[in-house]
């Protein structure tokens, strides 16, 4: 079965399988890195709203392409524009109108999809929204692949260059402001990265399920990793494993790829939670040892020689 | 240059309709050690946030080293109350302290001098051995020391601390007070505390904040004054002539 899959990958007749694998493996790096940011900052609901709003852009792009004859506009272009617009909007709302954040996110989510569906309805020829909602590796082209490669590099570059700033904003926003960091800008940038990342896998898993692929590998990694960097690398590897396994399984059993990938990620997360729980029970003795070490390494402070006088003040 | 580390001139601040700070004026010269006390909800933390520039006054002016707070941030070390950070983010002690090296205009990784400054700060707080520990695994007192180290890592000229000794055991408290008494020879310190009975050695000014700001030289803060402030919430402590001057001076 595995050799059959490998054979299919190498076959010239079905390039889309190869494209999907390459797209999956490449995108996984961005998914691991950005997914970690999204998970530790707990903004997966924002990523969800952005990814759903992307359908508006896909619909608009297809409409312009087919109804208006602007053939250079591809669905992925519309997806990119809408994703970035949605990210900037979400960021502005979360910074300026916090009280209404969930309402506006919900509206963005639905209105984006409504726009997409209406455009698709007015697009000549038959367009199956299912392909974009739940992924369809058949819609991926060689051009898309190049765009994915480029985007992947941009995302990774930004995420690495601003790593310490992002980490500071996530860990302690108030302190980051007190250090003079432009926290609002970094938050917006982070959401834009999430938006671009989501678009990378529209072809493989679709916009409805892509958030799971963004968050589950990072969430699994978060259960076992003790640094953000380790979390990012582990999440990227897990994402690669999920997408390529999902692709293989869906090919072998003739299943839709997107749901297969997501189901594998979901099962892995459930297993990871179980393993973590089990390990915590067994690890009770180790934790006790750690406590002893901790108190042994306790602070030997500055106070030697400087007697702290409590009574000398005329309070 | 005004020569003042901190200068508040008739500052008003309110959260919505709730007036928190009313017509507060305060001048702190460089290398002073200022001890800020006052009842809960009296505006101590608000005052600190105004000085860091996390909050903007509705009227009046705040200056730090003669500049707007935003422009002086690289010279300020800020230790907030323990609630502002997210313990679910995996971070080692060293990573937390290195955040104190970040400034507005830098990008990319930390330099050798950043790493050295962080190590020095950790050493000062006696936390070197725990630098590879997860921050979340530390005890309350240890966390507080790391947060002070983070503020010191930026090599500030002004250190602002918001109740650094709250919720920690007496031994750790004495350690931190001892460090501050030592540090005051180098930099300006402003420390908020709920503890009115124990004013650290070397404090040059005690500031009482209860909507308004009253300044007292250490020797003038009497037990009677403190009773008055805390016993009957609404009344301010007796002002001596000097502080009357400071408070009302600009009006």
Does the beta carbon of A277 lie under 8 angstroms from any beta carbon of chain B? no
**Domain A2-309 superfamily per CATH:** ABC transporter involved in vitamin B12 uptake, BtuC (1.10.3470.10)
Confidence of residue B251 (pLDDT cuts 50, 70, 90): very low
Contacts of B104 in chain A (CB under 8 A): 179-182
Mean pLDDT across A139-146: 84
The sign one gets for the Cα dihedral A98, A99, A102, A105 is negative
Does the beta carbon of A104 lie under 8 angstroms from any beta carbon of chain B? no
- HEC-encoded secondary structure of chain A: CHHHHHHHHHCCCCHHHHHHHHHHHHHHHHHHHHHHHHHHCCCHHHHHHHHHHHHHHHHHHHHHHHCCCCCCCCHHHHHHHHHHHHHHHHHHHHHHCHHHHHHHHHHHHHHHHHHHHHHHHCCCCCCCHHHHHHCCHHHCCHHHHHHHHHHHHHHHHHHHHCHHHHHHHHHCHHHHHHCCCCHHHHHHHHHHHHHHHHHHCHHHHHHHHHHHHHHHHHHHHHHHCCCHHHHHHHHHHHHHHHHHHHHHHHHHHCCCHHHHHHHHHHHHHHHHHHHHHHHHHHCHHHHHHHHHHHHHCCCCCCCCCCCCCCCCCCC
Lowest mean pLDDT across A136-145, A227-236, B180-189 = A136-145
Contacts of A301 in chain B (CB under 8 A): 125-126, 174-175, 178-179
| Nearest CB neighbour to B102, from listed A168, A226, A313 | A168
Beta-carbon separation of B178 and A175 below 8 A:
no
pLDDT of residue A60: 95
pLDDT of residue B71: 92
Mean pLDDT across A70-78: 89
Confidence of residue B97 (pLDDT cuts 50, 70, 90): very high
pLDDT of residue B83: 65
The sign one gets for the Cα dihedral B124, B125, B128, B132 is negative
Does the beta carbon of A174 lie under 8 angstroms from any beta carbon of chain B? yes
Contacts of A300 in chain B (CB under 8 A): 126
Answer whether A279's CB lies under 8 Å from A286's CB.
no
Model confidence at A1: pLDDT above 70: no
| Nearest CB neighbour to A309, from listed B124, B141, B201 | B201
pLDDT of residue B239: 38
Beta-carbon separation of B80 and A174 below 8 A:
yes
The CA distance from B72 to B39, in Å, is 29
Contacts of B178 in chain A (CB under 8 A): 301-303, 306, 308
Mean pLDDT across B60-85: 90
Model confidence at A309: pLDDT above 60: no
Beta-carbon separation of A162 and B107 below 8 A:
yes
Structure tokens at A298: 């306790």
- Number of residue pairs across A and B with CB atoms under 8 Å? 145
Structure tokens at A196: 């671009």
Query: What confidence tens digit (pLDDT) does each residue in B163-195 have?
Result: 988 878 888 888 888 899 889 889 999 999 887
Beta-carbon separation of A299 and B98 below 8 A:
no
| Nearest CB neighbour to B73, from listed A170, A179, A309 | A179
Beta-carbon separation of B98 and A309 below 8 A:
no
Q: Which of A99, A164, A309, A311 to mutate to test the interface with B (most CBs of B within 10 A)?
A: A164
- Max CA separation in chain A (angstroms): 91
Higher-pLDDT residue of B1 and B150 is B150
Beta-carbon separation of A315 and B78 below 8 A:
no
Closest of B135, B175, B160 to residue B69, by C-alpha: B160
- HEC-encoded secondary structure of chain B: CCCEEEEEEEEEEEECCEEEEEEEEEEEECCCEEEEECCCCCCHHHHHHHHHCCCCCCEEEEEECCECHHHHHHHEEEECCCCCCCCCCCCEHHHHHHHHHCCCCCCCCCCHHHHHHHHHHHHHCCCHHHCCCEHHHCCHHHHHHHHHHHHHHCCCCEEEEECCCCCCCHHHHHHHHHHHHHHCCCCEEEEECCCCCCCCCCCCEEEEEECEEEEECHHHCCHHHHHHHHHCCCCCCCCCHHHHHHHHCCC
The CA distance from B137 to B119, in Å, is 19
Phi, psi (5° rounding) for residue A135? 85, 145
Contacts of B125 in chain A (CB under 8 A): 299, 301
The sign one gets for the Cα dihedral B46, B50, B54, B57 is positive
Beta-carbon separation of B103 and A40 below 8 A:
no
Domain layout of chain A by residue ranges: 2-309
Does the beta carbon of A292 lie under 8 angstroms from any beta carbon of chain B? no
């Amino acid at each position: 079965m595995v050799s059959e899959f490998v054979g299919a990958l190498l076959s010239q007749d079905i390039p889309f399988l190869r494209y999907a694998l390459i797209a999956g493996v490449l995108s996984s790096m961005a998914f691991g890195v950005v997914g970690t940011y999204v998970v530790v900052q707990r903004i997966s609901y924002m990523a969800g709203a952005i990814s759903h709003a992307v359908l508006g852009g896909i619909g608009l792009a297809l409409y312009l392409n087919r109804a208006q004859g602007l053939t250079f506009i591809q669905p992925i272009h519309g997806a990119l524009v809408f994703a970035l617009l949605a990210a900037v909007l979400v960021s502005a709302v979360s910074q300026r109108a916090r009280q209404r954040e969930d309402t506006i996110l919900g509206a963005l989510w639905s209105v984006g999809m409504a726009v997409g569906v209406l455009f698709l309805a007015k697009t000549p020829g038959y367009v199956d929204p299912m392909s974009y909602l739940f992924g369809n590796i058949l819609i991926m082209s060689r051009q898309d692949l190049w765009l994915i490669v480029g985007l992947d590099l941009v995302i990774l570059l930004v995420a690495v260059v601003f790593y310490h700033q992002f980490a500071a904003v996530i860990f302690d926003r108030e302190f980051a402001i007190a250090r003079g960091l432009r926290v609002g800008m970094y938050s917006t940038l982070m959401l834009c990265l999430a938006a671009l990342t989501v678009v990378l896998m529209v072809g493989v898993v679709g916009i409805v399920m892509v958030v799971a692929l963004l968050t589950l590998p990072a969430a699994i990694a978060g259960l076992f990793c003790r640094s953000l960097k380790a979390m990012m690398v582990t999440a990227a590897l897990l994402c690669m494993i999920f997408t390529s396994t999902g692709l293989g399984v869906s090919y072998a059993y003739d299943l839709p790829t997107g749901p297969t990938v997501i189901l594998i990620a979901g099962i892995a997360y459930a297993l990871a939670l179980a393993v973590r729980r089990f390990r915590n029970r067994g690890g009770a003795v180790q934790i006790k040892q750690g406590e002893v070490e901790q108190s042994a390494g306790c602070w030997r402070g500055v106070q030697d020689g400087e007697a702290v006088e409590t009574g000398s003040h005329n309070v | 240059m005004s020569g003042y580390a901190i200068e508040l001139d008739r500052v008003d601040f309110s959260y919505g309709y709730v007036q928190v700070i009313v017509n507060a004026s305060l001048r702190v010269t460089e290398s002073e050690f200022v001890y800020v006390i006052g009842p809960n909800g009296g505006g101590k933390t608000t005052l600190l946030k105004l000085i860091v520039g996390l909050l903007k006054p509705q009227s009046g002016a705040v200056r730090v080293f003669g500049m707007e707070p935003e422009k002086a941030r690289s010279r300020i070390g800020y230790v907030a109350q323990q609630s502002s950070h997210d313990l679910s983010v995996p971070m080692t002690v060293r990573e937390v302290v290195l955040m104190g090296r970040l400034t507005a205009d830098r990008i990319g990784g930390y330099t050798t001098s950043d790493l050295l400054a962080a190590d020095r700060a950790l050493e000062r707080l006696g936390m070197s051995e725990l630098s590879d520990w997860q921050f979340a695994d530390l005890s309350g007192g240890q966390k507080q020391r790391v947060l002070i180290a983070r503020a010191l890592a930026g090599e500030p000229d002004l250190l602002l601390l918001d109740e650094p000794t709250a919720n920690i055991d007496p031994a750790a408290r004495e350690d931190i007070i001892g460090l501050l008494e030592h540090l005051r020879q180098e930099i300006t310190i402003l420390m908020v505390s709920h503890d009115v009975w124990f004013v650290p050695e070397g404090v040059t000014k005690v500031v009482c904040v209860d909507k308004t700001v009253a300044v007292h030289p250490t020797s003038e803060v009497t037990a009677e004054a403190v009773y008055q402030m805390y016993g009957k919430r609404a009344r301010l402590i007796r002002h001596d002539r000097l502080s009357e001057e400071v408070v009302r001076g600009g009006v």
